[in-house]
């Protein structure tokens, strides 16, 4: 485990030096990778503000934060279960999910059935071509009992309060116009059994102690591919939620929150059009977004239209197409972390929590001659890489970007006011224990000296070009 866990304020920053009003704890990642979420000497109070002064205003409180994390895909569970010994896996999960000993990830995303990062395509009620199972007699989680459910049980044991979002990539093939998991749309005569399918899944996972706190209706509903996917237009999603899913969850006493859309920033009109329906809207907690098209400001468009609904950022992946650490750090912290939260997101989720050194495994499907063909993203990178030959863990840039937030911004924190000078992107939080957290990214090509002013308290710091710092004080 990294030395930062033991350095500086021992055990927990929030329980240690952050409680001293005259000190601020400092954690730094530099663009040259010489400092990777490393504890730095604590800051003491300064008499004067710098020319660049980041003033914090705890009286300006915005959305409540639920957590930061990534998706525990079937592939993520597989590499941790298959390539790691039990002690190695326990150490990694403690490092990822323990808020005291590790970086305190408190939000994960699961696929309901297979995604493109599962070993094979499947749903929980697969039937031979042409056959149906409207009563869901054949529903079973058996495909997930070998790797995914055991890993999730370990995660929940470490962090019992973790937020778990669940998302389907596809309905069972017999419910779809394509009669298969790949592509197609939900058949109108399958709306009713599909709503019950969701309820059965949530209840079955709950029986294992895995509580789904939120459910998005469809992953990337505007996209089809040669792996489990399903198109769902906004009018279709509206009818499904209003007339089927919402009433079924309510009837069965399931309080899992329902999220809309779960796709790119370029279509804010999709969730808005569903929220415009007052009946559907009463079943919906908020809307979820991905990063692959459009701009982060789209989230604020939805907030402006429906300020009482939550916003969630639920997927973005780095990959081998962008190997530069410095550029990735700037994009992830600036756009995905600071950017989404400053545009009202209550969480930040990256894509795969863990993959192997070949960026997999991805879903295997039969090719034209019956051969196995890999489908999905072959270049996506995990938060960590687990080597298939040794179980050795490599922490990627995604790990450090997450750590700057997940370690210190605890569930229930509020985003608070801060000024935003050119070249110093930042976001500030107030935890429930009254500790303050400020994350700052220097997007310029030179180091910058700035001060942080919190009432009468002032701290000064110099941040290198391209570097990220988290400051914590109380």
Give the number of other Cβ atoms within 10 Å of residue 308's Cβ.
Answer: 8
**Is 314 in the same domain as 193?**
yes
**Quick one: pLDDT at residue 375?**
74
Strands 424-430 and 436-442 turn out to be: antiparallel
Cα→Cα distances 290→113, 114, 226, Å? 20, 19, 20
What is d(CA 28, CA 464) in angstroms, rounded to the nearest whole number? 10
Residue numbers of the domain that contains 188: 66-406
Strands 310-315 and 286-290 turn out to be: parallel
> Per the structure block, which two tokens stand in for 314?
């639920």
| CATH, residue 445 | 2.60.40.1180
What is this structure's pTM?
0.95
**Is 302 in the same domain as 174?**
yes
Burial class (CB in 10 A: 0-12, 13-18, 19+), 320: exposed
SS3 19: helix
The yes-or-no verdict on residue 371 having pLDDT over 80 is no
Cα→Cα distances 466→327, 406, 437, Å? 8, 20, 20
Cα→Cα distances 15→10, 77, 138, Å? 9, 32, 50
What does the pLDDT average to over 194-204?
98
Look at the alpha carbons of 239, 241, 242, 244 in this order and tell me if their dihedral is positive or negative: positive
> Per the structure block, which two tokens stand in for 268?
């804010």
Cα→Cα distances 127→137, 174, 197, Å? 11, 7, 14
**Quick one: pLDDT at residue 223?**
96
**Quick one: pLDDT at residue 280?**
98
**Is 50 in the same domain as 75?**
no
Q: Name 37's Cβ contacts closer than 8 Å, sequence gap at least 6.
A: 2, 4, 27, 28, 29, 103, 400, 403, 404
> Per the structure block, which two tokens stand in for 85?
């010994």
Mean pLDDT for the chain overall: 94
**Is 304 in the same domain as 443?**
no
What is d(CA 383, CA 52) in angstroms, rounded to the nearest whole number? 33
**Is 153 in the same domain as 242?**
yes
Half-sphere exposure of residue 387: CA atoms within 13 angstroms, side-chain side: 7
Radius of gyration of the chain (CA): 22
What is d(CA 359, CA 361) in angstroms, rounded to the nearest whole number? 7
**Is 151 in the same domain as 202?**
yes
Q: Before 361, cis peptide (omega within 30)?
A: yes
- Listed in order, strand segments (DSSP E) in 113-224 are 163-168, 214-216
What is d(CA 105, CA 369) in angstroms, rounded to the nearest whole number? 43
374 confidence band (pLDDT: 50, 70, 90): low
**Is 422 in the same domain as 394?**
no
What does the pLDDT average to over 69-74?
98
> Per the structure block, which two tokens stand in for 459?
């701290």
- The closest alpha carbon to 340, from 40, 35, 68, belongs to 68
**Quick one: pLDDT at residue 368?**
60
Provide the domain count of the chain: 2
**Quick one: pLDDT at residue 363?**
79
**SS in 3 state form for 45-66?**
CCCCCCCCEEEEEEEEEEEECC
From 406, 432, 448, give the residue that closes a domain: 406
What is residue 319's DSSP assignment? B
Cα→Cα distances 51→26, 55, 153, 472, Å? 21, 12, 50, 21
Sheet bearing 393-395, strands edge to edge:
354-355, 384-386, 393-395
Q: Are 312 and 274 in contact (CB under 8 A)?
A: no
**Is 463 in the same domain as 345?**
no
**Quick one: pLDDT at residue 13?**
43
More confident residue, 19 or 460: 460
**Is 141 in the same domain as 260?**
yes
17 confidence band (pLDDT: 50, 70, 90): very low
370 confidence band (pLDDT: 50, 70, 90): low
What does the pLDDT average to over 429-443?
98
What is d(CA 387, CA 149) in angstroms, rounded to the nearest whole number? 21
- Listed in order, strand segments (DSSP E) in 185-297 are 214-216, 257-264, 286-290
What does the pLDDT average to over 128-151?
97
What does the pLDDT average to over 439-444?
98
The yes-or-no verdict on residue 63 having pLDDT over 80 is yes
What does the pLDDT average to over 352-381?
81
**Quick one: pLDDT at residue 20?**
52
**Quick one: pLDDT at residue 362?**
86
The yes-or-no verdict on residue 38 having pLDDT over 60 is yes
Question: What does the pLDDT look like over 325-344, one tens digit per residue?
Answer: 999 999 999 999 999 999 99
**Is 424 in the same domain as 451?**
yes
- The closest alpha carbon to 186, from 229, 216, 215, belongs to 229
Give the number of other Cβ atoms within 10 Å of residue 394's Cβ.
Answer: 11
From 406, 436, 452, give the residue that closes a domain: 406
**Is 250 in the same domain as 370?**
yes
Question: What does the pLDDT look like over 285-299, one tens digit per residue?
Answer: 999 999 999 999 999
| CATH, residue 186 | 3.20.20.80
Question: What does the pLDDT look like over 92-117, one tens digit per residue?
Answer: 999 999 999 999 999 999 999 999 99
The yes-or-no verdict on residue 205 having pLDDT over 50 is yes
**Is 300 in the same domain as 158?**
yes
**Quick one: pLDDT at residue 462?**
98
């Amino acid at each position: 485990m990294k030395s930062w866990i033991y350095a500086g304020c021992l055990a927990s920053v929030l329980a240690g030096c952050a409680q001293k009003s005259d000190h601020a704890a400092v954690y730094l990642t530099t663009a040259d990778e010489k400092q990777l979420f490393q504890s730095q000497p604590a800051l003491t109070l300064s008499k004067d503000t710098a020319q660049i002064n980041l003033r914090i205003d705890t009286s300006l409180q915005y959305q409540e934060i639920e957590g930061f994390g990534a998706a525990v895909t079937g592939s993520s569970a597989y590499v941790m279960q298959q390539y790691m010994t039990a002690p190695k896996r326990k150490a990694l999960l403690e490092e990822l999910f323990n808020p005291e000993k590790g970086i305190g990830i408190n939000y994960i995303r699961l696929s309901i059935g297979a995604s493109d990062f599962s070993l094979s395509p499947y749903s929980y009620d697969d039937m031979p071509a042409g056959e149906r199972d409207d009563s869901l007699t054949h529903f079973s989680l058996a495909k997930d009992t070998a790797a995914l459910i055991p890993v999730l049980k370990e995660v929940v044991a470490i962090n019992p309060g973790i937020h778990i979002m669940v998302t389907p990539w596809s309905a069972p093939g017999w419910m779809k116009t394509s009669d298969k998991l790949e592509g197609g749309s939900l058949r109108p005569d399958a709306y009713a059994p599909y709503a019950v399918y969701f309820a059965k899944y949530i209840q079955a996972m709950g029986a294992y102690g895995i509580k789904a706190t939120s459910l998005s209706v469809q992953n990337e509903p505007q996209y089809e591919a040669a792996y489990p996917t399903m198109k769902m237009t906004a009018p279709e999603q509206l009818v499904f939620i209003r007339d089927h899913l919402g009433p079924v969850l309510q009837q069965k006493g399931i309080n899992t929150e329902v999220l809309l859309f779960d796709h790119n920033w370029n279509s804010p009109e999709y969730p808005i059009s569903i929220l415009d329906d007052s009946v559907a809207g009463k079943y919906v907690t908020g809307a979820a977004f991905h990063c692959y098209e459009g701009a982060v400001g789209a989230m604020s468009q939805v907030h402006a239209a429906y300020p009482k609904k939550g916003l969630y950022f639920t997927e973005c992946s780095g990959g081998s197409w962008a190997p530069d650490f410095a550029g990735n750090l700037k994009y992830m912290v600036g756009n995905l972390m600071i950017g989404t939260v400053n545009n009202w997101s209550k969480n930040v989720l990256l894509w795969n929590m863990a993959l192997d050194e070949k960026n997999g495994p991805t879903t295997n499907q039969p090719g034209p001659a019956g051969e196995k063909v890999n489908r999905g993203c072959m270049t996506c990178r995990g938060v960590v890489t687990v080597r298939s030959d040794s179980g050795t863990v490599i922490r990627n840039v995604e790990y450090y970007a997450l750590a700057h937030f997940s370690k210190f911004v605890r569930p229930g924190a509020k985003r608070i006011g801060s000024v935003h000078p050119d070249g110093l992107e930042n976001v500030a939080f107030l935890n429930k224990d009254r500790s303050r957290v400020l994350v700052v990214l220097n997007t310029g090509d030179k180091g910058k000296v700035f001060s942080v002013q919190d009432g009468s308290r002032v701290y000064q710091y110099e941040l290198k070009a391209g570097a990220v710092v988290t400051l914590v004080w109380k």
